[in-house]
Amino acid sequence: MSESMTDFARATQEILLAGQRMDARGWVPATAGNISRRLPDGRIAITRSGCHKGFLKAEDVITVNGGGIAHRPGDKPSAETLLHCQIYQQDPTAGAVLHGHSVASTVLSMIEKSPALHLADYEVQKVFEGQTTHEASVPVPLFENDQDIARLAQKVTPFFGTMPAGYIIRGHGVYVWGKDMPTALARLEGLEFLLACLLERRKLGQ
């Protein structure tokens, strides 16, 4: 990207490319999912409500403040913007947040009765922060879906600092973040690969 690009223009380009990548892998069907990036001045660049993430245009990216309020009148952020804001508030190192709706995350979170999925013995789990060996067990908390996003956020808050692989909303999808967009994408791809492995193993009765 050009050095002359503004921070917002650079963030917008990253969000558009992330949307295309997520769409190519089937993780953001229809208008599902949302993508954001924190700007140096504290604003949050995030996808507008109701747009397909595989066909994003520059005008589909807006900015909100730390409370999820759009800076420009008439701009409508996703209803789940507060979950993005929460991540940025709870993790000062977070620079990008990705939310997708894959088949694996949706199905596994609906059939798993325990409060978390556990990833263990997979080499790929080393993509998550703090993980140095496949022998560790990485928990992925599961939270009940709730249309009251503020109430859902309250349930997620106590788990920050213990979710290196992000978390899943049951029957809904994953939330993953990282210091920048490449890191967030790598973690999302790692998590989705591992969830697909878990689903395949369950199909095989393992």
Task: Indicate the annotated binding residues for Zn(2+).
Answer: 99, 101
Instruction: Give the relative orientation of helices 103-111 and 181-203 as an angle to the nearest 10 degrees.
Output: 60
Identity of the residue numbered 119: L
Question: What is d(CA 121, CA 17) in angstroms, rounded to the nearest whole number?
Answer: 31
Which tokens hold the place of 1?
Answer: 């990207």
Q: Which stretches within 41-180 are classed as H helix? A: 81-90, 103-111, 149-156
Question: What is d(CA 187, CA 173) in angstroms, rounded to the nearest whole number?
Answer: 14
Three-state secondary structure string covering 9-64: HHHHHHHHHHHHHHHHCCCCCCCCCEEEEECCCCCEEEEECCCCHHHCCHHHEEEE
CB burial readout 106-126, b (16+ within 10 A) else e? bebbeebeeebbebeebeebe
Residues annotated in a binding site: 99, 101
Task: Give the sign of the dihedral formed by CA 127, CA 177, CA 138, CA 33.
Answer: negative
- What are 177's strand-pairing partners? 97
